[in-house]
Structure 1
Amino acid sequence: MIEFDPAGKGVLCFGELLLRMSPDAGGTWLNTHQLPCFLGGAELNVATALSLWEIPVTYFTALPDNILAEQLKNSIAGKGIGTDKILAQGERVGIYYLPQGTDVKNAGVIYDRANSSFATLQPGTIDWSAVFKGVSWFHFSAICPAVSASAAEVCLEALKYASANGIFISLDLNYRAKLWQYGKQPADIMPGLAAYCDLIMGNIWAAERMLDIPIPLDFQDKTKAEYLSQAELSSREIRRQFPKCKVIANTFRFDAGEKGVKYFTSLHTANGSYHSATYQTEEIVDKVGSGDCFMAGLIYSINQQKPAQESLDFATAAAFNKLFIASDATSTRAADIYDSILPHEKK
């Protein structure tokens, strides 16, 4: 079992709320005057899943003081997510455009989030004691410090307060190539933030890019056993460099055929290493939010004080299930996810 005492308190997810516009690849939306819009952002996707799975969760972000922001907050609150800590400041909501069927890591993504309410957050302006009241777990992602230098400073403030007050901290090493435009590279910022974290999720390539955890040159086209072995080596090095970190999770998602996906994961703690079954499909609906769903699955399971292997199996099944849902966040209940878990397999 991964040691964590929720103590009757909830999870706080911190990040930028985004509107995802999804035009069809052929441009038909220009003639039909219909452009699909999804409410998202990595940390909000996590919060949405946790609320669905009946984990008390609050979302903290910054939004402008206008009617659009009120509609967004009402939508979030309607999902059972706490919105009372959302800060009213700044002038705009972040937007990104992603053609249907592509990935946020794909070059086709277009960001329109400069000078958003979240990007213009300033250190020294937030009452962290109020923000963290009633919180036992704090979650954020590497997207937060990527949007602006001031947002990175605010992340550090939050982490220092949470760590000093015994709050469990999780980090998703999300890498977005089109962010980090303010003169810093991820490896300049992320190690200083990771030092405060109890759980770090990502993969071996993200750990190399963001935390300077080395992997062999051109480490591609390997067997599952080879990937899992490297994940164990990288995870040990993370725990050595960041001794506060208790849990490291790695996800491996590869294209399989023209539209398919092959997916498996691993988990590493002081008590041992674990891995999931391999999930595979010939066609998916939406890649967006799958990693967020995996992170939510870990938070959910650890809050439920499940054993490490069970926690990993639930998170993996949840993430794979998300690939078949056309939105940023999952809509699948926990009981159905448990029913979809594949039998464990050897390397």
Structure 2
Amino acid sequence: MAKKKVLCFGELLLRISPAVNATAEKNPVLVYVGGAEANVATALAGWDVPVKYCTVLPDNFMARHMLHYLEYHNIYTSSVLFSGNRIGLYYLERGADLKGNMVYDRDHSSFSELKRGMIDWDRVLHDVSWFNFSAISPALNENVADACLEALEAASKKDITISVDLNYRSRLWKYGKHPIDVMPALVEHCDVVMGNIWSANTLLGIPVDEHIHDKKSRDAYLSHAVETSKQIIQKFPKCKTVANTFRFDSKDNDILYYTSLFTDNKEFHSQEFTCHGVVDRSGSGDCFMAGLIYGLYNQHAPQELLNYASAAAFGKLQEFGDATGQDVLTVSEMSSK
């Protein structure tokens, strides 16, 4: 009997990436297929988890090329809806952070014109045991946020496990709604929540210590993560697992990365990962989300799945493009060091 699939739902984007301080002849502008949820799907498919993708694209040759990209990576595309006239774009310098030199061009994209009632969720979810989305989609506009809620209601009725990445994009919340007005109603349906103590504050209203940085202590950050996790679980009773990530970039381009997991009233911490310089900062959080789903889907022990997800996320920092190409053996070896 075939395994049930993980469904990733979100906007499939094209990423346009020039090199920083380089001539066009030596470093041409590169184009990647991207989007947070697509990055999760690509990682999971590469780790032999059956996964399909649901999005909205225009019916044109470029959209077909993007679907071929997904299919090449063994991602099922039968749930893609063709509607509208344009593909969403974003521009990001290679090696830059999503918080840095990045520009969105997503207005009036096919996905941004999604409305409740356009997707037959009963058909899309018929072979699905896990539904994954991110806080990026409801940040686009009120109609997309409502379509997300429709999807979550349908998945909940089918007892499908639901996960959310609380990635906050301040450049997107521009339609008159604050995240705190939208996200709690969506997270009420979630079994797994991933983010950090700051996104939990911005998106869900979970208190954050404004002076936490002054403590300059790993123990202080991890203790705060436990408290944040407990408050999320108390506020959203369906949620049973919360993961928090911490990444600190120094002025010298040194990276410090570690994570935590709270489940069954127990806390788990990853090792500390450090390096000098990264190849590409985008997609690391998506890779962690994929690792989290990978471990939970395969019923791995909490510490084991946290080690895997953390190693995958850190390894992604040394890869070009949005999605990881790391295989299970590579990540497992790094996680066991």
TM range (shorter): over 0.9
Kindly provide the CA deviation profile for residues 16-65 of structure 1, in whole angstroms up to 9, marking residues without a partner as x: 01111111233633x67931111110000000000000000001000000
Q: Which position in structure 1 is the counterpart of 2:98?
A: 104
C-alpha separation in 1, matches of 2:335 and 2:236: 32
2:307 to 305, 308, 313: 313
2:249 to 252, 255, 260: 255
Q: Which moved more, 1:233-242 or 1:19-28?
A: 19-28
Native 8 Å contact 2:19 2:28 kept in 1:
no
SS of residue paired to 2:182: helix
Supply the RMSD in Å over aligned alpha carbons.
1.5
1:57 to 40, 43, 51: 51
C-alpha separation in 2, matches of 1:117 and 1:33: 31
C-alpha separation in 1, matches of 2:137 and 2:117: 17
Q: Which position in structure 2 is the counterpart of 1:204?
A: 197
Native 8 Å contact 1:64 1:90 kept in 2:
yes
Alignment of 1:32-111 (within 5 A): 34-106=28-100, 108-111=101-104
Native 8 Å contact 1:63 1:69 kept in 2:
yes
Kindly provide the CA deviation profile for residues 179-237 of structure 1, in whole angstroms up to 9, marking residues without a partner as x: 01111111110011000000000000000000000011232142110000000001100
SS of residue paired to 1:329: coil
Native 8 Å contact 2:3 2:50 kept in 1:
no
Q: Which position in structure 2 is the counterpart of 1:21?
A: 16
Q: Which position in structure 2 is the counterpart of 1:3?
A: none
Deviation at 1:119, TM superposition (A): 0.3
After TM superposition, the score normalised by the length of structure 1 is 0.94
> Residue type of the partner of 1:150?
N
Q: 1:271 to 1:33 in 2, by over 3 A?
A: closer
SS of residue paired to 1:21: strand
Deviation at 1:105, TM superposition (A): 1.9
Q: Tell me, which stretches of 5 or more residues in structure 1 are unaligned?
A: 1-5
Q: Which position in structure 1 is the counterpart of 2:227?
A: 233
Q: Which position in structure 2 is the counterpart of 1:332?
A: 326
> Residue type of the partner of 1:203?
N
SS of residue paired to 1:277: coil
> Residue type of the partner of 1:21?
I
Q: 1:91 to 1:226 in 2, by over 3 A?
A: same
SS of residue paired to 2:256: strand
C-alpha separation in 1, matches of 2:32 and 2:118: 30
2:5 to 2, 7, 10: 10
Q: Which position in structure 1 is the counterpart of 2:165?
A: 172
C-alpha separation in 1, matches of 2:88 and 2:37: 14
Deviation at 1:271, TM superposition (A): 3.7
Q: 1:27 to 1:115 in 2, by over 3 A?
A: farther
C-alpha separation in 1, matches of 2:176 and 2:184: 16
Q: Tell me, which stretches of 5 or more residues in structure 2 are unaligned?
A: none
SS of residue paired to 1:125: coil
SS of residue paired to 1:92: coil
Q: Answer yes or no: is 1:323 the counterpart of 2:317.
A: yes
Native 8 Å contact 2:6 2:51 kept in 1:
yes
Deviation at 1:75, TM superposition (A): 1.3
Q: How many residues align?
A: 336
Native 8 Å contact 1:257 1:282 kept in 2:
no
C-alpha separation in 1, matches of 2:19 and 2:122: 44
C-alpha separation in 1, matches of 2:129 and 2:95: 37
Alignment of 1:279-290 (within 5 A): 279-290=273-284
C-alpha separation in 2, matches of 1:141 and 1:240: 21
Q: Which position in structure 2 is the counterpart of 1:216?
A: 209
SS of residue paired to 1:220: helix
SS of residue paired to 1:20: strand
Q: 1:33 to 1:304 in 2, by over 3 A?
A: closer
Native 8 Å contact 1:144 1:155 kept in 2:
yes
> Residue type of the partner of 1:268?
F
C-alpha separation in 2, matches of 1:118 and 1:218: 39
> Residue type of the partner of 2:158?
N
Native 8 Å contact 1:105 1:177 kept in 2:
no
C-alpha separation in 2, matches of 1:33 and 1:319: 26
C-alpha separation in 2, matches of 1:64 and 1:32: 33
> Residue type of the partner of 1:242?
F
After TM superposition, the score normalised by the length of structure 2 is 0.97
C-alpha separation in 2, matches of 1:258 and 1:27: 21
Native 8 Å contact 1:45 1:293 kept in 2:
yes
